[in-house]
Amino acid sequence: MESGSATTCAALPPLQPHPRGKIAIREQKADHGGDSPRQFAPARLVPLMVISIFLADVLARFLVIQAGDLSQSMDHLLDAFALLIVLSPTFYFFYYRPLQAHSAERKKMVDLLCDSEERLKLALDAVNDGLWDWNLVSGEVYANNRAAAMLGFDPQTFGSRIADWSSRLHPQDRARVKQVLREHLQGRSRYFRAEHRLRQKNGEFLWVMARGQVVARAKNNRPLRMIGTYTDISARKQAEEALRRNEADIRTLTQSLMLGAEEEKRHLAQDLHDEFGQVLCAFQLGVEMLRDHTYGGAEQYAGHCERLLSMAARLEVDLRHMCDHLRPVMLDDLGLVAALKWHLEQFAAQNPQVKTRFKGEELNLQLSQQTEIALYRICQEALNNVSKYAKAQQVEVVLQCVNDQLQLAIRDNGVGLSIEDCQPQGVGRSMGLLGMRERAATAGGNLRVVSAPGTGTTVEVHLPLEVKQDVPLENCA
């Protein structure tokens, strides 16, 4: 029934007539004193009336004889009085009393049916389900207003034939649903239950859960009537699909992180072997020369020492650069703002054609290590993408407090990204964007990418704000 309609018995649509339904009604009447209608059958009432009139006439004749000679008017009066005495109890006990009991019983049955219909309607409204009643003999299907509205139809245009319903099944679900239905109609399953898609009036498909049961069968086990409901499960299906995509993303991201970690180890091993190995080998040869005194005068000795010192300085620079790449010491010593500013300066040194701007020196924040490293890595990955793909002339990094939230934004005026790449579940998204989203999520925040081809890209991270206890919130902005 349509949601919100009046819960009265008169407003409830009647079920389509079924053979078994008529039998059930007769059985219900029998259970509630169902022999009452037979009391009003002509075969019973006509003999009763004939006998009553005969007895009344006999009584009238007896009274006239006992009274002696009477006038014609008195004779008629006694005759009428006798009829009244005999027929009144007859009508009262054999017609009026059964009719009164039968009327009360029918009223009771109607009240029970109305209560049952109202409970059914309230239950369907509560679960927001559509009701259907299928007459397998005639092929007619009754559907309530909610069942029609769920698919965008009016009850008048919804269709009352099983062929109308079958035509709305999704082609990929038709064979499976018919197989499950066939097994239930043959009695091999107690209930019919199937998840499938139905075509709506606008042409789109709606995921529903159909449940039903055969409620009447012939003596040869042929199904006669089936009743059931279907529920809109689109939200659950969307959540399941999103969960499957997330699981696939997590597996892909995990694989990418593992490969990235192995790649980092390979680069680290190569750098250690090529850079540090060469420097250490030359340093070792120089120390051996000092040990063996295989040098000339004082000037050669001083020059040799200078070369060793330059090697040590180069080794220190390479080691610091490698440590900063793995995890900047500045992030632990001076905090997030200084680390972001320093990283932007390193980016500007490697990309001199790009103008850079940083905003956030005035913030005085106390963040957890997890939050700081997440924001730093997101900024690092975003600037890495700008360097590789954006072809930008200007980059801006902004760290600010907005509406009780900490916001990091990396903006560029480069070539931008496609709409699919910007979506959380876009088919064309890169592992870099997915990794940034996961880092933001692990820190308790969310990441948003705003971009379009030719308009640049903005990567925004929103996290719960954490400030020092002695710094008023209004000083963060």
pLDDT tens digits, 307-355: 777 777 777 766 666 666 666 667 777 788 888 888 888 888 888 899 9
Out of 79, 96, 120, pick the residue that ends a domain: 120
Q: Is 110 inside any structural domain?
A: yes
Q: Are residues 390 and 444 in the same domain?
A: yes
Task: Compute the average pLDDT of residues 73-91.
Answer: 74
For residue range 96-149, list pLDDT tens digits in order. Answer: 777 788 788 888 888 887 877 677 666 666 666 888 889 999 889 888 888 888
Question: Residues 241, 341: one domain?
Answer: no
State whether 336 and 477 are in the same domain: yes
Give the integer Cα–Cα distance in Å for 236 and 7: 30
287 against 37, higher pLDDT? 287
Go through 366-378 and write b for each residue having 16 or more CB atoms within 10 A of its CB, e for each that does not: ebeeebbbbbbeb
Q: Are 392 and 477 in the same domain?
A: yes
Contacts of 347 (CB under 8 A, 6+ apart): 354, 356, 383, 386, 387, 395
Of 416, 432, 415, 433, the closest CA to residue 424 belongs to: 433
- The residue range of the domain holding 288 is 236-326
Boundary of a domain, candidates 199, 215, 232: 232
Distance in angstroms (rounded) separating the CA atoms of residues 370 and 181: 55
According to the model, what pLDDT value does residue 2 have?
Answer: 35
Is there a single domain that holds both residue 405 and residue 265?
A: no
How many structural domains does the chain have? 4
With beta carbons less than 8 A apart as the criterion, state whether 178 and 184 touch. no
Residues 191, 167 within the same domain: yes
Give the CB-side neighbour count of residue 262, counting CA atoms within 13 A. 5
Q: Is the domain of 395 the same as that of 376?
A: yes
Cα distances (angstroms) measured from residue 301 to each of 285, 305, 310: 14, 6, 14
- Percentage of the residues of the chain whose pLDDT score is greater than 70: 69
Average pLDDT, the chain: 75
Asked whether residue 107 is assigned to any structural domain, the reply reads yes
Q: What is the pLDDT of residue 193?
A: 92
| Residue 412 binned pLDDT confidence (cut-offs 50, 70, 90) | very high
11 φ/ψ angles, rounded to the nearest 5 degrees: -85, -10
- 113 in a structural domain: yes
Q: Are residues 315 and 372 in the same domain?
A: no
Say which residue, 88 or 222, is predicted with more confidence: 222
Q: 194 pLDDT band (50/70/90 cuts)?
A: very high
Of the residues 326, 353, 372, which one is the last residue of a structural domain?
A: 326
Per-residue pLDDT reduced to its tens digit, 141-176: 888 888 888 888 887 888 888 888 888 999 999 999
Rounded CA separation 236/242 (Å): 10
Confidence of residue 416 (pLDDT cuts 50, 70, 90): confident
Residue 184: what pLDDT?
93
| Domain identity same for 464 and 335 | yes
What is the value of pTM for the model shown? 0.43
Report strand pairing: 394-402 vs 405-412.
antiparallel
pLDDT digits (tens, 9 = 90+) for 279-315: 677 776 677 666 666 666 666 777 777 777 777 777 7
Same domain? For 212 and 271 the reply is: no
Phi-psi region of 4 (alpha: psi -120 to 50; beta: other; left: phi over 0): left
Q: Measured between alpha carbons, how far is 22 from 28 in angstroms, rounded to an integer?
A: 10
Edge-to-edge strand order for the sheet containing 394-402? 355-359, 394-402, 405-412, 457-464, 446-451
Residues 469 and 444 in one domain: yes
Q: How confident is the model at residue 226 (pLDDT cuts 50, 70, 90)?
A: very high
Average confidence (pLDDT) over 9-22: 40
**Residue 159 is part of a domain; what is its CATH number?**
3.30.450.20
Mean pLDDT value across residues 392-396: 91
Q: Are 382 and 459 a contacting pair, CB within 8 Å? A: yes
